[in-house]
Structure 1
């Protein structure tokens, strides 16, 4: 089953699960109970913590973290497991990235450097929730991401400027995946 955030980031062949960690988790759980998918493929855009990464780059992932800036500054801690991984069998020949999820878009360059140093390259609001649901139901899952912006002061402006082109690139990948599934 193909899923996406929805709202401005919808795709014709993907079911919308909602924006952010809570909506995506609740709505995807409901979809899994109703439709009983064999696999979940999340399609979405992402911000990059690595400012040298070319915009509109494509990545694949089956791992996510949920780390807030206050955690990297040692201003907070969590008793929860802030990393999740799902079984995945992606067939696309794309670079693999570790994705961080938050209900906030980070814009601080120091936070971006800390995330890169930790090996975390991308930021997407929903993916940690999607992987958590997949893990709960024992479903293979992976995400495909197109980089629209860097996690800096211009994040929103760059996201808006690149969003349509990113969606076009992702649509092409969806069509490729669907073709491979039908072969």
Structure 2
């Protein structure tokens, strides 16, 4: 069995009530810490052979277009305060987790800050880390890496990071999730053994 995760059920799109054969679905909540704890629990309870996280994300700049679907090559824990030089992490703290599950979509790094960035200036600064922002992926990847379970993340861009992000996300997340599932189905990803 393989496990499809999302922060909340609508981000599973049409797979929420109808996962592909050999897959099960679950949600892990919003934010990296909550997602890490829920993913770790699900790995123990369900013992999947692989995990795929499906979700929405925001773009920092024009490297990605609205409704682009991407494969997270790595999830990077970061913050605006770190990028601006006002904070740092101890040298022993891990901040990058790579995808260990090959995927069919264009690969991009994904920044995972502790909260949604709401200024254009913040988005411009965080663009030096990755082209996209997401909130759960470091938690999911960290739990999977810790358990030795292959993991990947498929995301769809539904908003520009900045002051209008929430309104754009509300307007676009359902359509984006539908498009992401469609792209994965068309690639044949769910038919792989």
TM-score under structure 2 length normalisation: 0.84
Partner of 2:140 in structure 1?
130
SS at match of 1:110: helix
2:100/2:151 contact within 8 Å kept: yes
2:69/2:183 contact within 8 Å kept: no
How far the C-alpha of 1:170 sits from its partner, in A, is 2.1
Show structure 2 runs of 5+ residues with no match. Answer: 20-24
CA-to-aligned-CA distance 1:27-46 (integer Å, 9 cap, x gap): 11011001111111110000
1:1-183 mapped onto 2 (5 Å cutoff):
1-6=3-8, 8-11=10-13, 12=16, 13=19, 14-51=25-62, 53-79=64-90, 80-90=93-103, 92=104, 94-118=105-129, 120-175=130-185, 176-181=188-193
CA-to-aligned-CA distance 1:127-157 (integer Å, 9 cap, x gap): 0101101110111111001001011111111
SS at match of 2:107: coil
**The structure with more strand, counted as a fraction of residues:** 2
Counterpart-to-counterpart distance in 2, 1:129 and 1:89? 19
SS at match of 2:55: strand
Q: CA RMSD in A?
A: 1.7
| Cα distance change on mapping 1:180 and 1:173 into 2, 3 Å | farther
Counterpart-to-counterpart distance in 1, 2:173 and 2:43? 28
Aligned length: 178
Flag as ranges the 4+ runs of structure 1 deviating above 6 A: none
2:10/2:174 contact within 8 Å kept: no
Show structure 1 runs of 5+ residues with no match. Answer: none
